[in-house]
Amino acid sequence: MKIYNILICLSLTTILVSCAKTNIISPLQFQKQLLAGTGNFQNTEHTWQLDSTKINGVTYALTTAQKNYKKTFTFDGGYKDSDNVTGTWEITTLNVLKQTVIYNTTNKQDSTFYDIASLSSVQLNLTKKLSNGQIISYSFKISN
């Protein structure tokens, strides 16, 4: 009887431990999920609204149209913005976002790389070095 109880306890413990698995994702995958969602129910995309811009650390005043500018990233790598530009995005290296836009009229593609300065569930900060050497920073807030 005592051995029987021990076997039942061990079986129950094994079942509980095997059912309580937590999948740990890599920092790269976590960054992708913060940017664009997990792909699970009602979490298939994230829309980010431009909040502020800085050039070399100096705040740049946004126009009304710029304040309404939004970027939407879908979990499957799709991209669109409020200017009706579409394309793709990818993060293959931690803190580096590659955004490729596809111009509908010419079917040409153009890729831009941004450094992800910070990314949370509510804020996205991207930086990019311009051809003249200046650093531009874009701050977005979550819109959906």
**Is 24 strand, coil or helix?**
coil
Q: pLDDT tens-digit profile of 40-88?
A: 888 999 999 999 999 999 999 999 999 999 999 999 999 999 998 999 9
Q: pLDDT tens-digit profile of 18-39?
A: 565 677 899 999 999 999 999 8
Q: Output the pLDDT for position 115.
A: 98
CA distance 130 to 22: 42
CATH number at residue 53: 2.40.128.540
Specify if 86 maps to a domain.
yes
Q: Output the pLDDT for position 8.
A: 65
Specify if 121 maps to a domain.
yes
Contact criterion met (CB below 8 Å) for 9 and 3: no
Domain of 126 in residue numbering reads as: 26-142
Round the average pLDDT of the chain to a whole number and report it: 89
**Backbone phi, then psi, for 9, in 5-degree steps?**
-65, -45
Specify if 20 maps to a domain.
no
